Structure 1
């Protein structure tokens, strides 16, 4: 059964168009009108009523669009009021009266437009009008990164307002099972149509369970990838070393770094991130974000050792270690140096160039040292 073909509609037709199309076809196909083949007319009228009954309801229409007519009537596809699959009540005249408020297809012609006589006419208009739906009821579901990694079945309990036949609203407790697939993205929503709050003259709200991923103490999630900050000391950063950690599923990971680790650099470990939600056998990547921890202070001996170890060219002048830390030293020694003059500022983090004061002595460059404080940065050694 093709409901959209029976009503001459496109699959993406709005609800207002469904009402209008049924109103036009139902009057034309009504059995009370003259038809050359009454049996075919009754069958067409019944099919029209069933197609309209399916498409005017948002829940049955959604199931029909996804699984077709056979899937809609399958006993395993339960609806809120039909737990064993959709079943049409079989009375197209009842569907006609629910829409028009009368079984007479000529009522709109013979009955005068008078409020005293047109009760059913106006009632039909209000019945055909699409009701507004209440805003969705959002239920947050807190989950750890480990729970999302492995997947889980969670029992969610919430309360909603239901409308009694007397018109009173009462609170009802609801329990739903939510299947969390491994690697579900943060913010994933599970929708239970029209199982939220109820109110008079409104379509019941949808109940929406939304995953809210809790912050992790070690890992940061970036889609299917995971990132972790790894602190390394200056010795490992310059000379290399072993780095060990446990992944999100407690798998031991060991990395042997043999090169220089630059501050802010990262190491990628493929296939150690989060499972992909469409294929749990595949995983994202794990990134180690390196943070180089520098020593807070160095004595004079170690500074001289580092300065000599980092010396790249014999002609590159270094700060004389005998002058570092000598309080009150202001004399300007003459050194063999490049063609610019620098001031190694105490406590500074960068080298600051100084404009040449005596261009006549450009063949001989000087360095000025201010050594009133022992805390000279490593960069100022060059």
Structure 2
């Protein structure tokens, strides 16, 4: 006697969406037309998967199965005592047999909206259809919300597929990400003519408004601006921010880090460190503490703008590098010994 939850690979607390997702995956994997080399095994497995889905996707059948197992669905539940409505089976009719006698291929067709399983497999593998290439995910027909047997609505018509996004880097300098900038990118794409089948190349200028504080990895999407093809929704064009190397500053989150080289004398005494900012100001930072190698001094609010909190900024971090003298005369060493604690 199969455990329907184990058949679908879900827990007993699985929700409707999880059950649909499990059936979707297994039905495709074990469809007999996809497993010609082991037809008998796949037919049996395909039927078992359909039976499990038929029961677990129906609230009444699932309740009976959870309480009495497959015997309850077969009308073998004792009718006396505390059986109640659940013991009587769906509709409250004692002994009604609800064992699966359905057609697993019909369940498949109703679920996916097609009686041709190969159309499903072709889309999954990215074959055919307007030069789409590999589709990096499920086709639209695999979306949630499609029911199964018992509570399933009418099959949804399959609309055109959407082409895979075209993703490209958008290199930005640290100054552009600090101040904001407008970038213009020329793209060439194939567009359909009035006859609905002829294609011709077309250039378009896309304008990107880079906001202050954007980070590497920020994505800017232009919907449906990619190639057109008959029966295919045009691809989105996606630009991904990439940060150019800067000769002075390194970005760490919302902070700007600058290396500050100081002499040993400056490290041990007071001095003022000058820093030229990304917006062309000169900051004078007083350093009154002893500066050890790697010591960090923060200047609050002088880092990168924070895009999600307008008007706020990260910090400027001075990371000190102490330059030691290559030679100290002996008389100067004596002075150091007297001046510095042991």
1:352 matched residue in structure 2: none
2:216 matched residue in structure 1: 186
1:151 equivalent to 2:151? Answer no
Structure 2's unaligned 5+ residue stretches are 1-16, 22-154
1:138 matched residue in structure 2: 167
Q: Please, which of 259, 277, 282 is the counterpart of residue 307 of structure 2? A: 277
1:307 positional shift: 3.0
CA distance in 2: counterparts of 1:285 and 1:141, whole angstroms: 25
CA distance in 1: counterparts of 2:252 and 2:341, whole angstroms: 41
2:191 matched residue in structure 1: 162
2:187–2:204: 8 Å Cα contact kept in structure 1?
Answer: yes
Q: Please, which of 289, 301, 322 is the counterpart of residue 259 of structure 1? A: 289
Measured against aligned partners, the alpha-carbon deviations of 1:294-336 in whole angstroms (never above 9, x if no partner) come to 1122233333332333343xxxxxxxxxxxxxxxxxxxxxxxx
1:132 positional shift: 3.4
Q: 1 or 2, which has the higher helix percentage?
A: 2
1:230 equivalent to 2:260? Answer yes
CA distance in 1: counterparts of 2:252 and 2:263, whole angstroms: 26
Relative to the length of structure 2, the TM-score reads 0.51
1:206 matched residue in structure 2: 236
* Equivalent runs, 1:34-45 vs 2, <5 Å: none
Q: Which has the larger radius of gyration?
A: 1
Structure 1's unaligned 5+ residue stretches are 1-9, 15-124, 313-382
CA distance in 1: counterparts of 2:320 and 2:230, whole angstroms: 59
CA distance in 2: counterparts of 1:160 and 1:303, whole angstroms: 73
1:168 positional shift: 4.6
Measured against aligned partners, the alpha-carbon deviations of 1:182-231 in whole angstroms (never above 9, x if no partner) come to 11122211111111123344321101122222111111111221111100
Measured against aligned partners, the alpha-carbon deviations of 1:72-102 in whole angstroms (never above 9, x if no partner) come to xxxxxxxxxxxxxxxxxxxxxxxxxxxxxxx
1:182–1:280: 8 Å Cα contact kept in structure 2?
Answer: no
2:336 matched residue in structure 1: 306
Measured against aligned partners, the alpha-carbon deviations of 1:218-269 in whole angstroms (never above 9, x if no partner) come to 1111122111110011001111211111222122211221221111110010
Q: What is the DSSP-based 3-state SS (H/G/I as helix, E as strand, rest coil) of the residue aligned with 1:279?
A: coil
Measured against aligned partners, the alpha-carbon deviations of 1:60-81 in whole angstroms (never above 9, x if no partner) come to xxxxxxxxxxxxxxxxxxxxxx
CA distance in 2: counterparts of 1:209 and 1:278, whole angstroms: 19
Relative to the length of structure 1, the TM-score reads 0.46
2:196–2:230: 8 Å Cα contact kept in structure 1?
Answer: no
1:279 positional shift: 3.5
Q: What is the DSSP-based 3-state SS (H/G/I as helix, E as strand, rest coil) of the residue aligned with 1:303?
A: helix
Change (3 A) 1:131 1:297: farther
Equivalent residues, number: 191
